[in-house]
């Protein structure tokens, strides 16, 4: 499995696994966290790193242990499947792109995982946190084409950068303007239109005096002037929010008596570049024009039939939701059985990709769990869903997407708390080590 040797050796090297005896000067990791960390040995890199980050936040751990866990997570995260978090160019849910975006919102790409480590490290060792952040550097970003339906998200990276500025420097270091010099370097190195808004937000921080702001504003203008963005990055970087930040910067420049002319000239040069005036061929999606072609679920005849079947289970032949009492009647149960048979036939014979089949199936299972009254039928759906996740190859080929669906199962809506607890226990006893690990993490150290 990808990265397993590195993960196992990294974890084995941590002193929390040391058997050096009572004479060892290194603190040991107490239970149940030691067992959780040990279970992470067999996890894919991004999930092992995620587990260590969450364990490092456990209560009553000593700082040296937290630092060691975070160091291990930082190293392991380097083997994550996705290098950076991605945004979806469309607005609709139930698309391939939406599923990837939602999965990566869990912070399981390489950049986000390491950024999470930096955020956790800063209160423990500010200098170490700063050093870690400097190794991230996701730039330069790859140029995008009009056919792309996903583009890099820099929100978490720059949220971490602002945290470094706010908490990563001592009073003595701030007096020597080390924080300003750090920000100056990052501003002048800007090379993507997607950085316009977050860099502007750094300039808007109240920490800068007039001289520092003038220097940063000048560096920002110089960086913007040389930007040569692809059409998609240009449209996503030069959005309404970015324009608001630029307006705020203009007002701040006025307050600090800093000339706005250099930036106005730089912005005009940026807008005038021929590559920025290229418009991708667009299509309408819910009154919004987007470039590229997203893959929408439920558009094929067989999946459209499944969607209509779920709709009948929810609304019958009308538009009013069927009550829980009515869903206990034999007529509804007969329809439920017919749908389950159709679903199982589709699972055996379909032409979807592995990822699309995985998400469509998981969406159906989640809807069935929501609609099926408590009892043997819901127990059957739960067992089928757990077996589906347990045997899915997605836990190896795309761990973030697999975990996204597992978390949705563990946090199923419209299920009483006691039933959710029983569901988590079933997941934990599924015989799948990765599912057991996350059932324990959700119980002991739940993520936001």
Per-residue pLDDT of 72-123, as tens digits, reads 999 999 999 999 999 998 878 999 999 999 999 999 999 999 999 999 999 9
Q: Which of 49, 233, 224, 43 is nearest to 153 (CA)?
A: 233
Q: Give pLDDT, residue 289.
A: 46
Q: How many CB atoms lie within 10 A of CB 324?
A: 12
416 band by pLDDT with thresholds 50, 70 and 90: confident
Q: Are residues 324 and 404 in the same domain?
A: yes
Q: Give pLDDT, residue 23.
A: 45
Q: Are residues 114 and 133 in the same domain?
A: yes
293 band by pLDDT with thresholds 50, 70 and 90: confident
Residue 419, pLDDT above cutoff 90: no
16 band by pLDDT with thresholds 50, 70 and 90: low
CA atoms of 172 and 166, how far apart (whole Å): 14
Q: Are residues 67 and 158 in the same domain?
A: no
Most confident of the ranges 8-22, 97-111, 231-245, 415-429 = 97-111
Q: Tell me what the mean pLDDT of segment 278-291 comes to.
A: 53
Q: Are residues 306 and 292 in the same domain?
A: no
Residue 282, pLDDT above cutoff 80: no
Q: Give pLDDT, residue 175.
A: 96
Range of the domain at 7: 1-81
How many domains are contained in the chain? 3
Contact of 7 with 73, CB cutoff 8 Å:
no
Q: What confidence tens digit (pLDDT) does each residue in 344-374 have?
A: 999 999 999 999 999 999 999 999 999 999 9
Domain boundary among 36, 64, 81: 81
Residue 1, pLDDT above cutoff 90: no
Q: Give pLDDT, residue 146.
A: 83
Q: Are residues 112 and 242 in the same domain?
A: yes
Q: Give pLDDT, residue 383.
A: 96
Q: Are residues 216 and 288 in the same domain?
A: yes
Q: Give pLDDT, residue 21.
A: 45
Helices (H), 316-432: 330-348, 354-371, 376-391, 394-397, 399-410, 417-428
Q: Are residues 190 and 149 in the same domain?
A: yes
Residue 187: Cβ-neighbour burial (10 angstroms; 0-12, 13-18, 19+): buried
Q: Are residues 398 and 307 in the same domain?
A: yes
Q: Tell me what the mean pLDDT of segment 151-172 comes to.
A: 96
Q: Are residues 95 and 220 in the same domain?
A: yes
Contact of 197 with 237, CB cutoff 8 Å:
yes
């Amino acid at each position: 499995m990808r990265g397993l040797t590195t993960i196992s050796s990294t974890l084995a090297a941590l002193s929390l696994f040391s058997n050096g005896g009572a004479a060892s000067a290194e603190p040991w990791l107490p239970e149940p966290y030691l067992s959780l960390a040990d279970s992470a040995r067999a996890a894919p890199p991004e999930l092992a790193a995620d587990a260590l980050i969450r364990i490092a936040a456990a209560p009553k751990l000593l700082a040296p242990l937290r630092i060691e866990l975070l160091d291990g997570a930082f190293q392991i995260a380097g083997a994550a499947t996705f290098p950076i978090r991605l945004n979806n160019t469309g607005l609709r849910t139930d698309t391939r792109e939406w599923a990837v975006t939602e999965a990566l919102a869990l912070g399981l790409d390489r950049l986000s995982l390491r950024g999470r480590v930096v955020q956790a490290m800063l209160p423990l060792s500010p200098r170490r946190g700063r050093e870690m952040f400097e190794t991230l550097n996701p730039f330069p970003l790859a140029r995008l084409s009009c056919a792309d339906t996903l583009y890099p998200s820099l929100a978490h990276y720059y949220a971490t950068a602002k945290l470094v500025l706010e908490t990563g420097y001592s009073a003595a270091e701030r007096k020597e303007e080390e924080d300003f010099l750090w920000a100056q370097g990052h501003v002048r190195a800007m090379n993507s239109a997607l950085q316009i808004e977050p860099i502007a937000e750094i300039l808007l921080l109240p920490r800068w005096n007039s001289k520092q702001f003038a220097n940063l504003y000048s560096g920002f203008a110089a960086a913007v002037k040389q930007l040569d963005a692809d059409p998609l990055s240009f449209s996503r970087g030069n959005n309404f929010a970015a324009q608001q930040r630029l307006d705020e910067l203009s007002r701040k420049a006025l307050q600090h008596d800093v000339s706005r002319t250099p930036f106005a000239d730089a912005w005009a040069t940026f807008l005038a570049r021929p590559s920025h005036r290229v418009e991708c061929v667009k299509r309408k999606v819910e009154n919004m024009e987007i470039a590229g072609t997203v893959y929408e679920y439920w558009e094929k005849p067989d999946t459209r039939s499944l969607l209509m079947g779920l709709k009948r289970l929810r609304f019958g032949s009308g538009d009013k939701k069927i009550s829980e009492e009515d869903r206990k009647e034999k007529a509804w149960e007969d329809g439920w059985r017919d749908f389950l048979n159709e679903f199982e036939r589709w699972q055996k014979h379909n032409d979807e990709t592995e990822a699309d089949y995985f998400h469509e199936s998981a969406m159906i299972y989640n809807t069935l769990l929501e609609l099926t009254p408590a009892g043997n039928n819901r127990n059957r759906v739960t067992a089928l869903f757990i077996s589906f996740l347990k045997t899915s190859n997605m836990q190896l080929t795309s761990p973030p997407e697999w975990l996204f669906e597992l978390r949705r199962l563990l946090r199923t809506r419209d299920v009483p708390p006691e039933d959710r607890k029983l569901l988590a226990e079933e997941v934990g006893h599924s015989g799948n080590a990765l599912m057991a690990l996350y059932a324990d993490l959700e119980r002991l150290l739940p993520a936001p």
